[in-house]
């Protein structure tokens, strides 16, 4: 049936396009279906005045990156290495990067 390599490649591309269409359709319908749940979550966040999402649990400056200052990563020693793996995944907040923490 599929003797040439180009036929196999064409079948592969068409199968991936089909899978991508299914995934996009699923995302579209799931978004509509979960809208009431998301609105409930948003109203809860507004009611309790919750702050940022807690991304990591190991260090205080990675829990709430928007509230971190420039020195918390080096609180043990100015030249110490980052000993929490999540510290290398989170970039400093924009207000620290732009004006070096001076407000």
In the prediction, which pLDDT does 21 show?
98
Whether residue 53 lies inside any domain: the answer is no
Range of the domain at 10: 5-48
In the prediction, which pLDDT does 3 show?
82
In the prediction, which pLDDT does 101 show?
47
Q: Domains in the chain: how many in total?
A: 2
In the prediction, which pLDDT does 52 show?
65
In the prediction, which pLDDT does 12 show?
96
Identify the CA nearest to 93 among candidates 83, 85, 101, 84.
101
Q: What is the CA radius of gyration of the chain?
A: 23
Report, as ranges of residue numbers, the positions in the chain whose pLDDT lies below 50. 101, 103
Whether residue 69 lies inside any domain: the answer is yes
Question: Are residues 75 and 40 part of one domain?
Answer: no
């Amino acid at each position: 049936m599929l003797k040439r390599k180009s036929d196999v490649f064409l079948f592969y591309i068409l199968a991936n396009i089909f899978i991508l269409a299914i995934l996009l359709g699923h995302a579209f319908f799931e978004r509509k279906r979960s809208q009431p749940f998301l609105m409930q979550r948003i109203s809860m966040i507004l009611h309790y005045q919750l702050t940022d999402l807690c991304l990591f649990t190991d260090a205080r400056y990675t829990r709430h990156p928007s509230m971190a200052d420039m020195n918390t990563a080096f609180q043990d020693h100015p030249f110490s290495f980052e000993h929490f793996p999540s510290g290398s995944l989170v970039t400093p907040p924009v207000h620290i990067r732009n004006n070096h923490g001076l407000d």
